[in-house]
């Protein structure tokens, strides 16, 4: 038995002992555990599960122990992930800091910044928000205009950020700010951390088509930001920004696993809503084919993501492979939602009427919400541009 096999056994035992039964049920949005100063646990079990995982550092399994992480190797972290999946364990913490900001800070932050911010992310004490997009800077992110002026002992920030997810609940926000307007646009951007409690920061929620309003526009009016909150060099924020986007896209390609786990498979749902004939075959042949297409594609995507994992540390790699994951996963996720609504027929048309079950409404809400998947984190069209350029080496203009 290899040490990895041993580790697997230990992990399995530990999870079986420590993961409460209720935390092994399929996760729905309302029961996700989010961090932050104002965190509220959805249930005592959720709290217990979170605290146990936190104490092992397994909210961030492969981050270094000196910053509170689990210190696992990539292979060990994969084992933990697989065992959690096998047992159906819910993620113990949902947090942008964990998924996107932390990995970037570990790479680019100063020792002091890491010691200050990373442990709080692992322990779910601080909730982060992302301040990239602006009303006039979306896909063309580098054209952003929110300004940070060097005032000697601090920066003075003015401007606004758009689509800042959960900014009204966040404690801190990492922002891209313009620190030099005279140079080419990518070269005058800096990466700045801002405490949401600072004077001059305010948020206004934006209601979405799913009926939720997890998004805000965040305004900065003469906000004073200490100099030590600059990550990396002045005007060198763009490469950090891009690296962080990589983490974001990676996250979005596994979103389906992270965010929703229904207690029923799409096949079961289809049988229930569409019905089957005497031989057990779905009554709607066209839907049956659509379902097959979806299942085959999503299996192919899942395996592809595993194939990518297998290639870590290998000499021979398909260099273009990481670039496709966000696009193919989010596109298929939307196809799945379209399929689910088709399956539900006229039961899949309401966001709030009490005639419709919680679950029916939730599925409709997901359908609407997931339209964001191919937009946020760089739209599908931008992903295709990147694939064409970097994987296929097609010429620019």
Partner 1 sequence: MTMVLNEEQRFLKETVNGLLQKHQPVTSLRTLRNSDDELGYDPGFWQQLVDMDIPSIVMPASYGGLGFGYSGLGAVMEEMGRTLAVSPLFSTVVLGGSALELAGGTPHRDLLPEIAAGKLTLALAIDEGHHHQPRATATTLTVANEGLILDGNKVFVLDGHSADKLLVVARSAGKPGDEYGLSLVLLPRETAGVNVQRTSLMDGRNAAIVKFNRVELGPEALVGTLHEGWSILLQVIDRGAICIAAEMLGGSLEVFERTMAYIKEREQFGVRIGSFQALQHRSAEMYCQLEQCRTVVLKALSSLDEGCRDISLHASMAKALVNQCYAHISNEAVQMHGGMGLTDELDIGLYLKRARVSMQILGDTSYHQDRYAQLMGY
Ligand X SMILES: Cc1cc2nc3c(=O)[nH]c(=O)nc-3n(C[C@H](O)[C@H](O)[C@H](O)COP(=O)(O)OP(=O)(O)OC[C@H]3O[C@@H](n4cnc5c(N)ncnc54)[C@H](O)[C@@H]3O)c2cc1C
List of residues contacting partner 1 (CB under 8 A)? 267, 270-271, 276, 280-282, 288-289, 291-293, 295-297, 299-301, 303-304, 306-307, 310-311, 314, 316, 318, 320-321, 324, 327-328, 381, 383-385, 387-389, 391-397
* 143 contact choice in ligand X, partner 1, none (CB below 5 to 8 Å, kind-dependent): none
- Is residue 192 close enough to count as binding ligand X by CB under 6 A? no
Q: Which residue is nearest to ligand X (CB)?
A: 138
Contacting residue, 23, 59, 113, 130, with ligand X by CB under 6 A:
130
When the beta carbons of 301 and 363 are compared against partner 1, the nearer one is 301
Region of 56 (left: φ > 0; alpha: ψ -120 to 50; beta: rest) is alpha
Query: Contact with ligand X (CB under 6 A): which of 379, 386, 387, 388?
Result: 379
What's the token pair of residue 224? 């004073």
> Does residue 58 belong to the site contacting ligand X (CB under 6 A)?
no
Rounded to whole angstroms, the Cα distance separating 162 from 171 reads 17
How far CA 349 is from CA of 256, 340, 361, 362, in Å, comes to 22, 11, 8, 11
Report if residue 191 touches ligand X, rule: CB under 6 A. Answer: no
Distance from chain centroid for Cα 187: 27
158: nearest Cα among 144, 137, 139: 144
How many Å is the Cα radius of gyration of the chain? 22
Residue 132 in contact with ligand X, rule: CB under 6 A? yes
DSSP H or E stretch at residue 161 = strand 154-165
Kindly tell me which of 128 and 273 has the beta carbon lying closer to ligand X.
Answer: 128
- The two three-digit tokens of residue 258, written as one number: 């992270």
Q: Which option in ligand X, partner 1, none does residue 193 bind, with CB closer than 5 to 8 A by kind? A: none
User: Contacts with ligand X: how many residues (CB under 6 A)?
Assistant: 18
381 sits near ligand X (criterion: CB under 6 A): yes
Distances (CA, A) of 270 to 75, 283, 342: 37, 10, 9
Are 305 and 253 in contact, with CB atoms under 8 Å apart?
A: yes
148 to 187, contacts with ligand X by CB under 6 A? 161, 163-165
Least gap, CB of 308 to partner 1 (angstroms): 9
* Of positions 36, 68, 131, 237, contacts ligand X by CB under 6 A: 131
Beta bridge partners of 224: 156
Alpha-carbon gap, residue 24 to 183, rounded angstroms? 53
385 binds ligand X (CB under 6 A): yes
Query: Which residues sit at the interface with ligand X, rule CB under 6 A?
Result: 130-133, 138-139, 161, 163-165, 372, 375-376, 378-379, 381-382, 385
């Amino acid at each position: 038995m290899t040490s990895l096999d041993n580790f697997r056994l230990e992990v399995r035992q530990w999870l079986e002992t420590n993961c409460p039964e209720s935390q092994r049920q399929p996760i729905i949005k309302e029961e996700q555990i989010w961090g932050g100063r104002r965190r509220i646990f959805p249930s005592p079990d959720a709290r217990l599960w979170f605290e146990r995982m936190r104490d092992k550092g397994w909210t961030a399994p492969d981050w270094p122990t000196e910053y509170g992480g689990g210190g696992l190797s990539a292979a060990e972290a994969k084992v933990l992930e697989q065992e959690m999946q096998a047992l159906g364990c819910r993620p113990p913490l949902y947090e942008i800091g964990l998924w996107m900001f932390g990995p970037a800070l570990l790479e680019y932050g100063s020792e002091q910044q890491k010691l200050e911010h990373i442990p709080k992310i692992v322990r779910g004490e601080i909730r982060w928000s992302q301040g990239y997009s602006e009303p006039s800077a979306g896909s063309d992110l580098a054209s952003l205009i929110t300004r940070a002026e060097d005032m000697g002992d601090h920066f003075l920030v003015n401007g606004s950020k758009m689509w800042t997810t959960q900014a009204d609940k966040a404690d801190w926000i990492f922002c891209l700010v313009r620190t030099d307007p005279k140079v080419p646009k990518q070269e005058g951007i800096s990466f700045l951390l801002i405490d949401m409690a600072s004077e001059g920061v305010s948020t206004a929620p934006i209601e979405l088509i799913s009926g939720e309003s997890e998004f805000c526009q965040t305004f900065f009016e003469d906000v004073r930001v200490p100099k030590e909150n600059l990550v990396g060099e002045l005007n060198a924020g763009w490469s950090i920004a891009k690296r962080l986007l990589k983490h974001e896209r990676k996250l979005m390609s596994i979103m389906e696993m992270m965010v929703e786990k229904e207690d029923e498979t799409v096949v079961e749902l289809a049988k229930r809503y569409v019905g089957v004939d005497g031989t057990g075959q779905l009554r709607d042949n066209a839907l049956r084919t659509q379902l097959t297409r979806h299942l085959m594609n999503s299996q192919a995507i899942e395996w592809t993501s595993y194939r990518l994992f297998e290639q870590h540390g290998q000499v021979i790699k398909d260099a273009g492979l990481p670039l496709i994951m966000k696009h193919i996963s989010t596109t298929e996720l939307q196809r799945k939602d379209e399929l689910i609504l088709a399956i539900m027929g006229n039961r899949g048309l309401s966001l709030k009427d009490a005639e419709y079950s919680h679950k029916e409404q939730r599925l409709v809400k997901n359908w609407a919400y997931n339209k964001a998947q191919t937009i946020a984190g760089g739209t599908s069209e931008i992903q295709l541009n990147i694939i064409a350029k970097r994987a296929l080496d097609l010429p620019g203009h």
